[in-house]
Amino acid sequence: MTFPSDRFCWFEYVSKDSAKAQGFFGELFNWKTKSMPMPGGDYETIAIGDHTIGGYLPTPKGANAPHPWLSPLPVAHAQATAQKVAAAGGKVLKEASARGEMGTWAVVADPFGAPLALWQPAKAEAAEYRGVAGAFCWNELYTDQPEKSVAFYEAIGGLRDRPMDMGPMGTYHVLASHGKDRGGIT
């Protein structure tokens, strides 16, 4: 199977009060909420028109969630990539597991604690929503060790650094793959 990889493809809002978050973001960005039946209960998705771009997850019990947005990065093999995360100094927060018939995911953190998910889809996913009002268009990581962060994301996700000199602000690191800019580190 081939699919566009190395781009953040979905956005999960992790919250102790997802109804409040749904109201806030719905009003701010005109997002709609659609329920999707899943094992263990309905999953609330974020929709723009007929397209789903993300969802709402409850904060896991015992988790301190200072980062409410969780961005999945598509990978060919979630388990193997989770092992790369650990080898590159990151941490596996949730081992790879099936998400119904949709695919397999793992939740990990980079060496500095920023969480992300690894998403191994069961079928090709090709949607890109750049330029659509209310859609996500960029992922950005702020860190006090940008070069180490860049090395981590290159090692685990196939992303390549395209550094940009920002003058007195320093270097901005654009993460690119397949000829497209996917996010940045500063």
Q: Which pLDDT tens digit goes with each residue over 73-126?
A: 888 899 999 999 999 999 999 999 988 788 899 999 999 988 899 989 887 665
* Measured distance CA(63)–CA(65) in Å, rounded: 6
* Measured distance CA(37)–CA(45) in Å, rounded: 11
Chain-centroid distance, C-alpha 16: 19
pLDDT, residue 2, reads 47
* Measured distance CA(156)–CA(152) in Å, rounded: 6
Task: Please tell me the pTM assigned to this model.
Answer: 0.84
**CA nearest neighbour of 80 among 25, 145, 157, 146:** 157
Q: Residues 65, 78: contact at Cβ < 8 Å?
A: no
* Measured distance CA(157)–CA(173) in Å, rounded: 15
Phi first, then psi: what are they for 10, rounded to 5°? -155, 160
Statement: residue 162 has pLDDT above 60: yes
